[in-house]
Amino acid sequence: MTLSYRQPGVVLTDRSFTVPLDHDDPAGETIELYARAAVARDKADRDLPWLLYLQGGPGFGANRFIGKQAWLGRALEEYRVLLLDQRGTGHSTPANRQTLPLRGGPEAQADYLAHFRADSIVRDCEAIRAEVTGGAPWTVLGQSFGGFCTVHYLSTRPEGLSTALITGGLPSLDAHADDVYRAAYPRIERKVAAHYARYPQDVARAREIAEHLLTHDVVLPGGYRLTAEAFQSLGILLGGTDGSHRLHFLLEGAFVRTPAGPALSDAFQEEAQGLLSYAAHPLYALLHEPIYGQDARPTAWSAERVRAEFPQFDAAKTLADDGPLLFTGESVHPWMFECDPALRPLRECADLLAARADWQPLYDPARLAANEVPVAAAVYHDDMYVDTAHALATARTVRGLRTYVTDEFEHDGVRAGGPRVLDRLLALARDDA
């Protein structure tokens, strides 16, 4: 059954689909996918082509827009849009600490989650495309990890695509997770330096908070244990267009005076809890490194191992002298499964995924070199989340791909400058620019 309803200028329809858990076993277990279809109210009766949106992550459901927010208004000028909750996210069959025990123990949970990477997501898209479009190919817009999925789509099922649009999501075709993080830590350090140049008062504030956390056991209202390392991970904000400002405002209200002395304020703790908790997107933590797995080499907690090669990120060592505390960025570490109550029951499952040594290749360079689908990609200069050099190397591999390289936006350009970014990508893909 489908349900349609209205928002300002938009008609929305809830859609659900049943797909195999394992597409190589179509008669086996099935899962449910949820999607929200959107069309401009004044075009609801027209026969329009479809645009499929693949959200970043992994582990996030599609954006919940109100009306024609961000890029959606531009897309609705000429498309019907399908906002897909990728498997395990949003309203699709959930995968989290509450539901995964239904699979059995940690080993069964890890085997289940091995079906939640880009390869399965693309096969989901192909399984539902005929029902949505009547069999016609569709345009795909992939943001971040959604772009990784789009490159896999081009590698394996290009016949399903009329156009591919990618924002901040051109992956390396052959890098191991270790290569990804060796490129990431220097980039993160640059972002932190830029933040402190903008807000020099935050150098002392960040040190003061870290010193407090090294000497106090702080448990946030929702049960998250806030350690110095966890505090450093708030640097993930610096990958967004307004992230430096958000981090600054968070730090400036960190402490209050109490009868027992300075303490982290309730407001700071509440906001930090919301930023750090994986309760709403646990697959991000569980699958973040496996999205880079493409051979028999395990990822083996890559971000944690590679961080040891960059001792300037060690909070205790930094505070032993007078250097600025370095925040970290988009990385997942084993200690997160101890700090976060939404992840604690899944630690063994996460360890098994980190040790897994049977990942299959996700990209086909030869097929990409023979690509015939119009492709355009926004590459954000010095993107904190996706290495620019890796992205441009992939861009050179994909036949016919045109790039829009800009330093106007951070990783979230399709949100912060959505209509302009999407308009530019469409023009490039159509050879109109």
Q: What is the CATH number of the domain that holds 396?
A: 3.40.50.1820
Same domain for 300 and 216, yes or no, is yes
Q: CA 349 to CA 122: how far, in whole Å?
A: 24
Q: Is 239 within 8 Å of 191 (Cβ atoms)? A: yes
Q: CA 149 to CA 287: how far, in whole Å?
A: 14
Same domain for 71 and 164, yes or no, is yes
- 16 as an active site residue: the answer is no
Instruction: Note the pLDDT of residue 311.
Output: 96
- Structural domain ending residue among the three candidates 314, 337, 355: 355
Q: CA 139 to CA 141: how far, in whole Å?
A: 7
Q: CA 98 to CA 144: how far, in whole Å?
A: 27
Q: Which residue has the tokens 């699979």?
A: 103
Read off the tokens for 200: 């020099």
- Structural domain ending residue among the three candidates 302, 324, 355: 355
- 4 as an active site residue: the answer is no
Q: Whole domain around residue 138: which residue ranges?
A: 3-174+363-429
Same domain for 184 and 300, yes or no, is yes
- 172 as an active site residue: the answer is no
This prediction's pTM: 0.96
Query: What is 217-248 written as a DSSP string?
Result: -EE-TTS-EE-HHHHHGGGGGGGSTTHHHHHH
Same domain for 56 and 170, yes or no, is yes
Q: CA 163 to CA 140: how far, in whole Å?
A: 6
Same domain for 191 and 44, yes or no, is no
Same domain for 379 and 417, yes or no, is yes
Same domain for 192 and 135, yes or no, is no
Annotated catalytic residue, options 144, 155, 172, 233: 144
Same domain for 212 and 271, yes or no, is yes
Annotated catalytic residue, options 45, 47, 217, 358: 358
**Number of domains observed in the structure of the chain:** 2
Residue 8, phi then psi, degrees to nearest 5: -55, 110
Annotated catalytic residue, options 85, 124, 411, 412: 411
Same domain for 209 and 128, yes or no, is no
Same domain for 189 and 316, yes or no, is yes
Instruction: Note the pLDDT of residue 269.
Output: 97
Contacts of 14 (CB under 8 A, 6+ apart): 2, 3, 4, 34, 35, 36, 37
Q: Which residues of the chain are modeled with pLDDT < 50?
A: none
- Structural domain ending residue among the three candidates 355, 371, 397: 355
Q: CA 361 to CA 10: how far, in whole Å?
A: 40
Q: CA 162 to CA 375: how far, in whole Å?
A: 9
Instruction: Note the pLDDT of residue 265.
Output: 97
Same domain for 279 and 160, yes or no, is no
Same domain for 170 and 181, yes or no, is no
Residue from 422, 372, 360 nearest 154 by CA? 372
